[in-house]
Amino acid sequence: MSLTRSVPTLLPDRLTGIDETNRDQHAFLQEGDRCLFFGEYFAGKGYEGGGTNQLVFNFKTLPSIARANPARRNYKESAIATIATGLREVLGRNQIERLTFVPVPPSKAPGHADHDDRLTRALTLGCAGFDSDIRLLLRRSSSTESDHRTGNRLTPEALHSLLELDCAVVAVKPLREAIVLFDDVITTGKSFKCCERRLREAIPATIPIIGLFVARRILPNPFDDVESLG
């Protein structure tokens, strides 16, 4: 797959930061955390939640489903190209070449039928032709169900214990000015904080760690179904 100008971004042409006005919607984030996102994903709305919802759903299509269903595979490939285009256009060559990108590990460990390299593929495509630094510094030691597919969510400590840091990949060459942890949707911020904590075991505090997300989750308004408060 290659990027062409015929691939629409379907994403905002700028990044938005999570700050004091919305940080409380992401329970594990702390003051000082720097997290950026393109669009907003509306929880519980499905495809009807708009273009970003549709993009995220297609991007997260399970590999086993994509292999079995050519139409779903095409939607997933299109989503990867769309996100790659957004990254390339918003960051630009200068920013890309100053950063080390680290994909957040998926819930399925390498070797699992549904291990998904969508984040790495989007980064690789978006940075194609540039002097980019994309490293698989983190991996899962075992597979789990995704939080959004189960009511039994992993605790931060349980998730942290499943994350492995590849120190050999860290040491292969100098890191760049900042590390960008790349993921599709930020919900509570748990995955970001666990990955940050594991990276800090080998990476000094002088190198910033930034979160970059395709979208941030927006919870349903509890008053949406209330016709009248009077």
Return the bridge partners of 182, or none: 103, 212
Q: For the chain, what are the domain ranges? A: 25-146+154-218
d(CA 89, CA 74): 22
Q: Please give the Cα distance from 203 to 76 (Å, whole number).
A: 33
Strand partners, 163: 140
Q: What is the pLDDT of residue 1?
A: 55
- Distance between CA atoms of 147 and 128, rounded to whole angstroms? 32
Dihedral angle over CA of 37, 185, 180, 137, nearest 10: -170
- Give CA separation, 70 vs 46, 58, 76, 77, in Å: 21, 13, 10, 10
Amino acid at 124: T
Q: Which CATH number fits domain 25-146+154-218: 3.30.110, 3.30.70, 2.40.30, 3.40.50?
A: 3.40.50
Q: According to the model, what pLDDT value does residue 48 have?
A: 86
Closest CA to 141 of 159, 163, 120, 119: 163
Buried b (16+ CB within 10 A) or exposed e, 219-228: eeeeeeeeee
The dihedral region occupied by 12, where left means phi > 0, alpha psi between -120 and 50, and beta the remainder, is beta
DSSP 223: T
The secondary structure of residue 45, as a DSSP letter, is -
C-alpha separations of 137 from 117, 198, 222 in Å: 14, 10, 40
Residues 6+ apart with CB under 8 A from 212: 15, 35, 36, 37, 180, 181, 182, 183
Q: Which of 43, 77, 221 is nearest to 147 (CA)?
A: 43
Phi and psi torsions of 121, nearest 5°: -65, -40
Intra-chain end-to-end CA distance of the chain, in Å: 56
The model's pTM: 0.91
pLDDT of residue 146: 75
User: pLDDT of the chain along its 230 residues, tens only?
Assistant: 545 434 445 788 899 999 999 999 999 999 999 999 999 999 998 888 899 999 999 999 999 999 999 999 999 999 999 999 999 999 999 999 999 999 999 999 999 999 999 999 999 999 999 999 999 999 999 999 876 555 568 999 999 999 999 999 999 999 999 999 999 999 999 999 999 999 999 999 999 999 999 999 998 875 555 444 44
Q: Are 135 and 120 in contact (CB under 8 A)?
A: no
